Amino acid sequence: MGNREIISKLRVTFGAKLRSINAGILSRWILYFQSQPLAVSQKSAMVFSPHQDDETLGCGGTIALKRSLGVPVQVVFLTDGRYGRPEWIQPERITDIRQQEAVDALQILGVANSEIHFLNQIDNSLQNLPNDQRQDLVTRLAQHLQSFMPEEVYVPHKKDFHDDHEATYKLVQEAIALSGIQTELLQYPIWMFWQNPLSFSLKFEDVADARRLAISAVIDRKKRAIETYRSQHPGLPSGFLERFFLPYEIFFKD
C-alpha cells in the first residue's frame, strides 16, 4: 500500500471516529438534558421507512412496546434498498434479501407480514422523482394512510442528512395532507447526529422539542432485530450502531 492510500485510509478512519464521538455526545446531550420523557401510547402507528433497517434502528423499541400491548402497527418501506449491497451479495439478489431481513426483523418486533408494505421505489431516487412519479407515490402513501387511519405516524427527521430520508419526510407530509386524516407526526433520527463537528450544520431549533422513550423492557428484542440485517452491517461506519443500542429512542415532535 502506497503513502497516498495509507493517508486516505487514515483520513477515513479519523473521520469516522470524529463522527462517532460527535454522535455520542450530541445524542446523550439530547437524551439527558434536552428531552422530555415520552410514555408509550395505545395509539395505532404507521412507520414510514426509506430503507429496510431504518424502521428498526429508529423505532424498533417503540414498535416492540406497542405490539406487546396489542397496539396495531404497520410499516411502509418506500425504496427497494438495492444500493445497500456488500460485495458478497449478487446485485440481482439484494432486494429480495433485504425484504426478507425486514420481514424477519419485524417478526421479532411483533409485526405480522400482512402489516408490512413494500413500495419498491428505486433506492436513492426519492429526492429527484419526476413530478408524475412523485404524485403517484404521494397518492399511494395517502391510500395506505386512509386504509389504516393511524393515530401516530413515524418518519425520518426532516434534516436527517440522507436524501431518501429527508424526501420521505416531505412525501409523507404531503400524503397526510392529501389523505385528510388527523394524526400525530413524530420524527426519528438515523444519520442526523452522524456529522463532522467541523462542518456541523444543525441548528438548535432542529433538535428542539425532543422526546425520549424508555425501551429497556424490549431492548434485547431490538438488538436481535438489528442483528437480522446482516447484509447491512458491513457497510456501516465503525461506531454507527452504538447509539441504537441505548435503552432510549429519540423522537422529535413536528
* pLDDT of amino acid 13: 56
Residue 55 in contact with residue 67, Cβ under 8 Å?
Answer: no
Are 178 and 136 a contacting pair, CB within 8 Å? Answer: no
Section 159-175 average pLDDT: 97
Q: Residues 106, 225: contact at Cβ < 8 Å? A: yes
**pTM for this predicted structure:** 0.94
In tens, the pLDDT along 58-88 reads: 999 999 999 999 999 999 999 999 999 999 9
**Which pLDDT tens digit goes with each residue over 201-226?**
888 888 889 999 999 999 999 999 99
Please, how many CA atoms are within 13 Å of residue 61, restricted to the half-sphere of its CB? 24
Average pLDDT of the chain is 93
Confidence at residue 170, expressed as pLDDT on a 0 to 100 scale: 98
**How sure is the predictor about 246, in pLDDT bands with cuts at 50, 70 and 90?**
very high
Asked whether the predicted pLDDT for residue 196 surpasses 50, the reply is: yes
Which strands sit side by side in the sheet containing 184-188, from one edge to the other? 35-38, 210-214, 248-253, 184-188, 152-156, 45-49, 73-79, 116-121
- Residue 9, pLDDT above cutoff 60: no
pLDDT at 4 over 70: no
Taking the C-alpha atoms of residue 174 and residue 51, their distance in angstroms, rounded to an integer, is 19
Q: Quote the CA–CA distance of 33 and 35 in Å, as a whole number.
A: 6
**What angle (nearest 5°) sits at the alpha carbon of residue 185, between those of residues 180 and 57?**
135
Percent above pLDDT 90 for the chain: 81
| SS3 state of residue 123 | coil
What is the percent of the chain with per-residue pLDDT over 70, rounded to a whole number?
Answer: 94
198 or 194, greater pLDDT = 194
pLDDT at 14 over 90: no
Domains and CATH numbers, the chain: 3-253 (3.40.50.10320)
3-state SS string over 227-254? HHCCCCHHHCCCCHHHHHHCCEEEEEEC
The β-bridge partners of 252 are 187, 210
Write phi, then psi, for 128 (nearest 5 degrees).
Answer: -125, 35
